[in-house]
Amino acid sequence: MPLLSIENLKMYFYTLRGWVRAVDDVSLSLEKGDSLGIAGESGCGKTSAILTLLRLLPRNGKVFGGKINFAGKDLLKLSDREFSKEIRWKKISTVFQGAMNSLHPTIKVGDQIVESITIHESVSKEEAVKRAGKLLDLVGIGASRFDRYPHELSGGMKQRTMIAMSLACNPELVVLDEPTTALDVIIAAQVLKVIKELQQKLNLSTLLISHDLSMIAETCNKIAIMYAGKVVEQGDIVSVFKETLHPYTQKLIAAFPSVLGRKTELSSIHGFPPDLLTPPPGCRFHPRCDYAMEICRKEEPPVISAGKDHYVACWLVGGRKE
Amino acid sequence: MAAKPQEKRPREPRSFRALIFSLLIILLGFATIGLGVCELYVSLNLGDLKNPEPWAADLWALFANSGLMLLPHLYSIMDFVIGSIFILCGYLIFRVKHMEFAALTAFATGLVALFVYGIGDWWTYVARIKYEGLAVMYLRVILQGAVPIIVSALSLTAQRQEAKTLMGRRIRSFWEDFSHNKIGLVGMAILFTYIIAAVLVPVLSLGVNPEKTDLADELVPPSWIDFFYPSLRDLPRTLHQEYNFTDYFVTLPESIKNDPSVTWSWNGRSFEFNISGLSYNESAPFRISLETVSDYYPYNPPRGGGFIIGFTLEVDPHQYYSPSEKIARAFYNVELNMTSPVNTTNLWDAEWYNKRQYYYSQSITPRQELMPLNISSPDKRLQKTKINETFQLTSDLYWSHKMGFVNKDGAVDWQSLSNALFPQKGNYSYQMYFYINATATYSRTTDTTTIYPIYYFARIKPIFLDVKGMLHGIMGTDHLGRDIWSRIVHGIKISLAIGLASAVASSFIGVMVGVVAGYLGGTVDELMMRLVDILLCLPVLPLLIVLVYMYGQNVWYIVILIAIFGWQGLSRVIRSQVLSLREAAFVECATASGASRTYIMIRHLIPNVLPIVLSDFVLSVPGGIMTEAGLSFIGFGDPTTPTWGREFNIMWTEGGAFAVFAWWWFVPPAIAITVLCLAFVFLGHAVDEIVNPRLRRRR
Amino acid sequence: MTLRKYLAKRIVVGIITLLIVATLNFVIFVLQPSDPTRYLLQPGMKPEQKEMIAREYGLRDPLDVRYFKYLRNMFSYGLIPPYFGISFKSKQTVASEMSWRMQLTVLLLGSAMIGRTIVGIPAGIFAAAKRGGKLDVAIMGCALLTFGIPIFVLQLLSIFFFSYLANIYGIRIFPTGGGLGGPYKSFWDFLPGAAWHLSLPILVLTFGGFGGWALYTRNMLIDALTQDYIVTARAKGLSERTVLYKHAFKSILPPVATMITLSIPGIVTGAIITETIFGLEGIGKWYVESLSRGSPNYPVVQAVLFIFATLTIMFNIIADLLYGVLDPRIRVGARR
C-alpha cells in the first residue's frame, strides 16, 4: 500500500471569468521511502495539486472530487481541525519555493523552528530548543545561528533552515516545492546535496516539485509529468527518461541540455499552454502536438499502463496497444 | 519606452474620427482667438465701464446675455492662449503625431477653461458689476470647456484602436480597472455632480444673492417642512402687499370749498394734495379720508416683530415759526385704522402723531437757520422741514404702549401684538385720515401776527404690509435672514476651487522637487531632502493660523499656504521612485543615445511617476478643503468669501444656530462638505488600489 | 550609518527646524505693522508710564538683544526665568499658565490616542481577517466615512445632537459647555469634573479618527497575509489566530507603530479646533484666543507654537527610532 496516493483529484479556482481547472483528474502515488518528482511548465497545476494536498488553497480554490489517501486515511474527509492536529507538519511538511520570503522576517530562525515543534508536540521549551539546534546542525547551518534573523542569513542558509524546520516533527513525507528557485547554481547544488543526504539518512519520502528535469532526475526515483492540470505520464524515472512515450515529455526532455550528450540544438515547444478556463477538448496537448490525430481533438486519452510502473495518457500509445 | 529610433517612421494612417475631431478642435481654437480679438477691441472701447462707447456697451451686453461674456482688457490674453493651444493640439492630432500628448493637453486645457469660467473666481469679477440676471458664461464653459474635453477624450479612443502606443495602453488599462471599481465610480459620479452644480451655481441658487439680508425672518426653517408638519402649512411666508387707495374724499371748510388753489388727485401710485395760492385763508383744520382696497391675507399671524405696516409720506407743509419756543411747526396729522375680518383697530391716532411731529421739528431744525424767517415767496420755504419718510408700525414703541401690549417686565409683547393685528386669514383693508391745518396766522406768544402766502403739498403713497416669512426657501434662513441654500450653493464653487487649486499646486511642487532631487542627486538632492525634513517636522495647523492671522485673510493666500505645507510627502515618494527608475534600462538607453537631462525628466521620469501623483493628488484635495474649512471655522478664513467653513464659523460664533436647534443651517453645509470630501476619498481609494499593486486582490 | 550617528543627525535637523520656527515666530511679530503691545499699554497711560512698561518687557532693546533673549527664553522651555515671558493679558508668566492648561490637553489627547488605538487597530485587524465579509465592509465603510468628515464638523454635530438636542428633551448625558475653567490646584482636583466634560470630546476624537488607522492597519495586514511566510506558518499547522495575531501582526507592527507615533503631532495641533469647539481651557484654545483679539498676546503664541513644534519634531524622531527597534531588518533608517 502506497504512503500517498492521489486519485482523480479535481480542484478548480473560481475567478470572475469562470472556473479555472487547475487540477483536473490527477492521480499520483508514492511508496514509503520513494521520492517522486513532479515536472511541468509553469502554471500546469503542480503547485495547486500540492496546495490541495496541504490544504493551503486560497479561498477561491475548491476541491470537486477525488481522493487523497495518506497512510490509510482519506485526507479530504478529515476536518480542518483534525488535519491540522494530526497531519500537518507531523506527517507531511513542506519546503516552499522562494527561500527569501518563506521565513518570518522579524522572528529569530531558531524560534521559528521551536515554534513548529512546540505546537505539535508537548515538549518543554528547553527540549525543543535543543532539538532545533540539532536540526540546524543536521542541515549544516550550525546551532550557533539559532539567534539570527532571516535577513542575516544567505539564501542557501535560509532554504536549509526551511528544510530543518520541515524536519522538526519527523514527518513521513516532505514536500519540496521548487526548493532551489532563486538560488544560484552552486548554492542550489548544496541544498540538493543536503536533501539527498537526508533522504538517505532519514529514509524520507519526498515529493519534489520542479520544472527542472535534471534536478528531478538527480534526486528522485519516480517522476510525473503534468500538463495543463493533468498528469500526462508518470512512472519510474529510468523508464520515463529512456522510453519516453508522451510527445509532451519528449519535447520537455529535448528542451533541456544534456551535459554529457552531444551538442544538439535545444528545441522549444511552440505555442503556449492552454487557458485553463476553457481547456481544449480532447487531449489538452493536441494544439501543440506534432502527432495530433483526429481522435486527439475529440476524446480525452485514458491513462494506460505502458510497462512496469509506467503510465501514460496518449492516444498514440493507446493506438499502438490496440 | 525605448529611445526613439533615428530613421523616419512612415506616417500612421489617420482615421476618419480623428480627422473630424482634429478639425473640430482647430475650429474651436480659431473661434476662441477670434473672440479674443473681438473682446480686446471691445474692452478697449469700454473704457473703465463708466462712460463706455455706446456700441461697445451694446455689444458687451449682447455677448454677456448670450453667455459668452467678453473678458475685459488683460484677461483676454486667456483667450489667445487657450485658442493657440487648441490649434496646436488639433494640428498634432491631424498629423497623427504625438497624438495622445496633444489630446491630453487639449483635455487639460478644456478642464482649465471649465474650471476658470465655470467654477473659478473669474465670473464674480463680472458679477460684481451686476449680480442678478447675469448668468455664468455658459457658452464659454461649453465651447472652451466641455466640447474640447469630450472631443479630445474621444480622439484618444479613436487613436487607441489603431496605433497602440504605450500611453494609450496605460490609459486604457487604467480606465478598465477603474470602471470595475464600484467605490471609484461612486466617487466619480459625486464629483461630477458637484462640478455640474458648481457651474450651474447661478441657476441652482435661484438667483438669490447670498449676502442679501432680510429675505425672511431670522433663523426660519425651510418651507418644505410643512409637508411633514401640516400644522405649519399656514405659517406666513415672505409677503409684500400694497393697499392702493380706491376711495377718497376731502372734507373742506365751507370758506374754501370752491377755492381753485386747492387740488387733489389719485394717480394710481400716490395720492397728491396741493394748496397753492394767496387766496387761501382758513384757520380750521380739515381732513382727507382715504380708503384702501381690501386684500386677502392668507397666513396665520406672523412672528412678533416679523411684520411691518407702513406708508410713505411726503409733506411739504406750510411753516410756522415760534420765536419764543424757538421751534418750527408744520401742521399735519395722520390717523390709520386697519379693518381685519374680526374688528377694526386704530393703528395711528392724530394726537400721538402731533407729538411726534413736534419732536421731529425740534430735532432737525437748527435755530440759526430759522431766524431770518421771512417767507415772502414760495421759494424761500424752509427746505429742511420737507418730509419724505416711510413710517413703520413695528418700530414705534409708543403705539404698543398705548395699546397695552407691554408685559410686566416693561418689554413689548410683540407676539400678542401680532396675534391681535392678524387674528385670522381673510380680507384686510385700511383707512387713512390725513389732517391738515393750513392756517398761517397762529401764534400764542408774539404780538405780530403775520399772514404768509400759503403753500402746502402732500403726497401719500399706498399703505404696504411686509411680512417676514417664518418658512423660507429650500434651506431656510440664517440669523440675518439670508438665504442658506444660496450660500451653500455658492460654497460649492469656492470649496472645489480651493481643494483643486491647493492640490494642483502642491502636486506640482512635489513632482518637481521629487524628480529633480531624485534624478540629479548629489548636493541638490541633499539640500532638497533636508528642506523636506524640516518642512515635515513643522506643526502645520498652528503655523497656518499664525501666518493667516498676520498676513491677510484671503482665500488664495490660504490656498498657497496649504500648498506650501502639503508637498513634502509626495516629493519623498517620487524621489524614491525616481531613484529606482534612474537605473532602469530605458533611462540608461536614453542617456546613452544622448538625450538631455530635461528631456529624460519630462519624457521618461515624469510620465512614469504620474500614477503615484494621481493618487496623491486626489487624496490631497479633501485635505485642502478640510484645512481651509477648519481655518475658516476658527475664524482665520477669508471673511469675504462664503465658504462652508465660514458658514460654520458664523453659526457657531454669532448665529446662535445651536441654541434654537437650527438644523437647516447646520446640516446642509455638513453634508455638503462631507459628501464632497468623501467623493475624493472614494476616488483616491480607487486610484490607490489600481496604482498601488500591493493592495490588489491576489490570485 | 550607526544608530548613534543617525540619531545625532536627526537631532541636529530637529534643532535647526526648531530654530527656524522660533525665528519665524519672532520675525512675524516684529514685522507686524500694528504695535504688538497694544494689549499692554492702555490708552489712558502717560508716555513715561508706557515707556517704563515697554522697557520692563524688554521692548526697547535692540533687535539682536531681543532675539537672543527670546531664543534663550524659548529653548529653556519655561524652566528658568523668565518662564516664557509674561502674558500680556493675565500678567502672569506664560509657563505657569501653560502648566495647568497642558494638563487638560494631555488628558484629552492622551485618552483620545488610547481610544483610537483601542478602536482603530483591532477594527483594522478584524476587517483584514474577515476580508470581503460583512464586518469588513462595515468597518471599511465607517472608516472611509470618518476619513471624509472634517473632524470639526463631526464635533459640532455631536455637540448639536448629544448636548443641545438631548438637553431639549431633558437628557443630560453630556454638558453643553462651560464649567471647566482653570487654574486648578492639582491634577486630581480637576479630574472628576474633567472626566464629565471630556467624555464627549474624547468619544468624538476616538470615533472620528479611527478610520485612517483602521484602513491603514487593514491594508498593511492584507498585504502581510499574502506573504510567503504566512503560507509557511499555516503549513506548519499554526492556528489561524496565531497566524493572524502573532505572525501577520508582528510583521506590520513597525509601520503601524510608526503611523501612531507620527499622527500624534497632528492630533496635538488638532486640539486647537477640538478645544475651541468644546470650550475646554487647554493650550489649543489658549493659542487661538491669544491670536483672535485685536492685538496678539504674543508671548503666549510664541511659547505655544514652540511647544507644538518641539512635540512634532520629537515624535518624528521617536517614530524613526521605534521603527528601528521593532524591525530587526532596519536598525536605523527611513520610515517609508
Taking contacts as CB-CB distances below 8 angstroms, the residues of chain B near C312 are: 537-539
**3-state helix/strand/coil string of C204-224:** HHHHHHHHHHHHHHHHHHHHH
pLDDT > 60? residue B694: no
User: Can you tell me the distance from the alpha carbon of B544 to that of C308, in angstroms, rounded to the nearest whole number?
Assistant: 13
User: Can you tell me the distance from the alpha carbon of B151 to that of B90, in angstroms, rounded to the nearest whole number?
Assistant: 10
Strands A205-209 and A35-39: parallel
Chains that touch B (3 or more CB pairs under 8 A): A, C
Structural contact between residues B292 and B462, judged by C-beta atoms closer than 8 angstroms: yes
Q: Give the three cell numbers for residue A157.
A: 542558509
Name the least confident of A58-72, B618-632, C57-71, C278-292.
Answer: C57-71
Taking contacts as CB-CB distances below 8 angstroms, the residues of chain C near B629 are: 150, 152-153
Residue B513: predicted pLDDT: 92
Over its C-alpha atoms, chain B yields an Rg (Å, rounded) of 36
Confidence of residue C163 (pLDDT cuts 50, 70, 90): confident
Nearest CA in chain C to B572: C336
pTM over cut 0.90: no
Nearest CA in chain C to A114: C236
Record: contact C159-B573, CB cut-off 8 A: no
Nearest CA in chain B to C21: B538
Nearest to A61 by CA among A9, A120, A117: A9
Q: Phi and psi at residue A8, in whole multiples of 5°?
A: 45, 45
Residue B368: predicted pLDDT: 29
Those residues with Cβ within 8 angstroms of residue B691's Cβ, 6 or more apart along the chain or in another chain: B611, B612, B614, B615
Of C148, C160, C316, the CB nearest to B622: C148
Q: Give the three cell numbers for residue B439.
A: 392756517
- What's the one-letter identity of residue C212? G
Q: Give the three cell numbers for residue A204.
A: 524520507
B289-321 per-position pLDDT tens digit? 888 888 899 888 888 778 888 888 777 665 554
Confidence of residue B326 (pLDDT cuts 50, 70, 90): very low
Record: contact B678-C145, CB cut-off 8 A: yes
Chain A: nearest CA to B697, how far in angstroms? Answer: 11
Asked whether residue C72 is domain-assigned, the answer is: no
Q: Phi and psi at residue B178, in whole multiples of 5°?
A: -65, -40
For residue C66, the surrounding DSSP H or E stretch is helix C63-75
Record: contact A98-C227, CB cut-off 8 A: no
Residue B166: predicted pLDDT: 66
Asked whether residue C284 is domain-assigned, the answer is: yes
- The answer for B125, left when phi > 0, alpha when psi is -120 to 50, beta otherwise, is alpha
Residue B374: predicted pLDDT: 33
Asked whether residue C64 is domain-assigned, the answer is: no
Q: Give the three cell numbers for residue A270.
A: 511552440
Burial of B364 (0-12, 13-18, 19+ CB in 10 A): exposed
Record: contact A119-C238, CB cut-off 8 A: yes
User: Can you tell me the distance from the alpha carbon of B94 to that of B99, in angstroms, rounded to the nearest whole number?
Assistant: 8
Q: What is the ipTM of this complex?
A: 0.86
- Whichever domain contains C140, its CATH number is 1.10.3720.10
Asked whether residue C20 is domain-assigned, the answer is: no
Q: Count the residues in chain B.
A: 699
- Average pLDDT, whole number, for chain B? 76
B450-496 per-position pLDDT tens digit? 444 456 778 888 888 888 888 888 888 988 888 899 888 888 888 88
Structural contact between residues C308 and C296, judged by C-beta atoms closer than 8 angstroms: no
Residue B675: predicted pLDDT: 93
pLDDT > 50? residue B391: yes
pLDDT > 70? residue B219: yes
Record: contact A116-C234, CB cut-off 8 A: no
- What is the mean predicted confidence (pLDDT) over C126-148? 86
Taking contacts as CB-CB distances below 8 angstroms, the residues of chain B near C32 are: 550
Asked whether residue C316 is domain-assigned, the answer is: no
Record: contact A105-C232, CB cut-off 8 A: no
Asked whether residue C41 is domain-assigned, the answer is: no
Chain B: nearest CA to A207, how far in angstroms? Answer: 24
Range of C132's domain? 103-290
Residue A146: predicted pLDDT: 86
**Number of domains chain C is built from:** 1
Residue B404: predicted pLDDT: 65
Q: List B337's β-bridge partners, or say none.
A: B346, B431
Longest dimension (CA), chain C: 87
Confidence of residue C2 (pLDDT cuts 50, 70, 90): low
Confidence of residue B680 (pLDDT cuts 50, 70, 90): very high
Nearest to B546 by CA among B467, B468, B631: B631
Nearest to B63 by CA among B126, B109, B131, B122: B126
Of C228, C326, C327, the CB nearest to A102: C228
Record: contact A98-C326, CB cut-off 8 A: no
Which of C31, C139, C142, C147 would you mutate first to test chain B, the one with the most B CBs within 10 A? Answer: C147
The HSE-up count of residue B432 (CA atoms within 13 Å, CB side) is 27
User: Can you tell me the distance from the alpha carbon of B696 to that of C131, in angstroms, rounded to the nearest whole number?
Assistant: 13
| C-alpha pair distances (Å), B675 with each of B190, C140, C195 | 8, 16, 33
Confidence of residue B506 (pLDDT cuts 50, 70, 90): very high
Cell 493640439 -> residue: B89
A239-284 per-position pLDDT tens digit? 888 888 888 888 888 877 766 666 666 677 777 778 878 888 888 8
Chain B: nearest CA to A236, how far in angstroms? Answer: 34
Report percent pLDDT > 90 for chain A. Answer: 0
pLDDT > 80? residue B63: no
Q: Give the three cell numbers for residue B471.
A: 418658512
Chain A: nearest CA to C329, how far in angstroms? Answer: 7
Taking contacts as CB-CB distances below 8 angstroms, the residues of chain B near A13 are: 699
Nearest CA in chain A to C328: A106
Asked whether residue C192 is domain-assigned, the answer is: yes
Taking contacts as CB-CB distances below 8 angstroms, the residues of chain C near B652 are: 156, 277
Chain A: nearest CA to C110, how far in angstroms? Answer: 29
Who wins on pLDDT, B694 or C66? C66
Taking contacts as CB-CB distances below 8 angstroms, the residues of chain A near C328 are: 105-106, 149, 151
- The answer for C17, left when phi > 0, alpha when psi is -120 to 50, beta otherwise, is alpha
Asked whether residue C10 is domain-assigned, the answer is: no
